[in-house]
Structure 1
Amino acid sequence: LLSNLQLAMSVFFSGDVTSARRLRRSKHRFRILNRRYSHAHVDRLHQQNVQSIETSSLHLGLLGDMKRLNSLFCSVAYSVLEQPDQDEERGEY
């Protein structure tokens, strides 16, 4: 999450398309990892792990919050990637 925040700040200030693409890919990887953590937690619940049962709402809430933060951080990539190419703006192809 922290690395995506740092990359998002870099993309925001530089407008670098290559970094924006990297950030978009990183968002996808983060979502896969987040999903794995959620599934692992549910597996622990099925195993009747007492600690997991006691902290379930906190754990799932934290994962959801991290997912939302990551989406917000990565939204800057889409803004950069949706900008018209500089050559197209000048009529150069």
Structure 2
Amino acid sequence: MAEFRAAAESKQDWGDRFEQLMQAYFRTDPYYQDLFSNLWLWWEYPQRDNSGDIDTDLVTKERISGEFWAIQCKFYRHPRGWPTPL
């Protein structure tokens, strides 16, 4: 991740790259590959109707139910002293 972050030219570029990484993950992980029929970056989502930034990074459509999911991608370090998940 350090190399990935170092390649980013700005905080915005880092966020965009991270969202694209998460999109690739959801598209290639076998569980999510089966769960979702569609997966868009927010800016690619055809039904966003020119909405601006609403803190949604990805939109997915569940394959079986047809329900839509809004996903917010976050990548940050916990401050020192915070418990680390096992």
TM-score normalised per structure 2: 0.29
Between Structure 1 and Structure 2, the one with more strand by share is 2
Between Structure 1 and Structure 2, the one with more helix by share is 1
Q: Which has the higher contact order (CA 8 A, sep 6+)?
A: 1
Larger-gyration structure (1/2): 1
TM-score normalised per structure 1: 0.27
